[in-house]
Amino acid sequence: MTDVELRVEALSLSGVSAIPPEYVRPEEERADLGDALELARAASDDDATARIPVVDISAFDNDGDGRHACVEAVRAAAEEWGVMHIAGHGLPGDVLGRLRAAGEAFFALPIAEKEAYANDPAAGRLQGYGSKLAANASGKREWEDYLFHLVHPDHLTDHSLWPANPPEYVPVSRDFGGRVRTLASKLLAILSLGLGLPEETLERRLRGHELAGVDDDLLLQLKINYYPRCPRPDLAVGVEAHTDVSALSFILHNGVPGLQVHHAGSWVTARPEPGTIVVHVGDALEILTNGRYTSVLHRGLVSRDAVRLSWVVFCEPPPESVLLQPVPELLADGAGKPLFAPRTFKQHVQRKVFKKLKDQQDNNAAAASNGMITK
């Protein structure tokens, strides 16, 4: 099978009316799957449906009650939901428009041309153009292609892995990465204050400032997800349910819905909130805050009638120089015991990957004992 045949886009463009079995989700997942557009319309029409919080952080730049209210709103969203729509984020609309246009232009290229940037996860080359292969407990594939690469700090990026076509992709993405880095510092300051800590606390912990000789910058990884039209959105997902390993994740999209987050025992569809971006709390921040802030479980749905693109920036600590563990101040004076063992970010990622592989092996063994064959 060629690389082009492996791409979900090629499968979608082939006009199939059914999807291959490797994309069909386990039966226990299908009860609440559906077309992303239809579920978003239903959520918008139902005022009783839970709604992801919308928080305007522009008031944080001012003194007084507005600043305090901003901190409290972000704290509440991070503790109760682990996700929020952020307004007043300071990312200019024209910058976001150029970013979207560049990403859409890349994915509009013929698949064979995109293959010039193909990654090879099996060989350890994660950056580049790819499709998600089965590396999960269910052994199922996801209905998406993607482009993934480091976007900040610029001196560590390898621009040879970035698309040369469209020509504006590199400057637009570089500019966007720098702006999101600034926004990450602002949010980490707000989240620190929400814990009753000095505003520099969380960023210093993520960068290793408390360690002698360590002053590494945060790493920002950009992933553009491309979800082609799917003839059976009731059977497939664009991205399966997971939490992000990052400290924070920043998400924008092309206007097509699809994001769902798990809250209070149910899946909640993200509604369109013009002028906002979505921010997730990830595992690294949950560890630092000893579970005060929640790493949100989320997934991406697909549609039979619309192509969805989303741009996700994962804000991560350095892989090996920083030890992730609960901030000592949150455990002081008998406030609680640590819920997480110390680990580097690299160790955390490896543990998570190992657990997925172990779960898949256990599921395969169970299926084999029942006379079933899984691949």
Active-site residues, by number, are 223, 242, 244, 298
User: What is the C-alpha R_g of the chain?
Assistant: 21
How buried is 346 (Cβ within 10 angstroms: 0-12 exposed, 13-18 middle, 19+ buried)? middle
CA distance 351 to 365: 21
DSSP sequence for 162-202: S--SSTTHHHHHHHHHHHHHHHHHHHHHHHHHHTTS-TTHH
Q: Enter the tokens of residue 134.
A: 């089965």
At 91, which amino acid appears? L
Residue whose entry in the numeric block shows the structure tokens 């045949």: 5
Q: The tokens 């919080």 sit on which residue?
A: 53
Listing DSSP states for 224-245 in one string gives EEEE---S-TTT--SEEEE--S
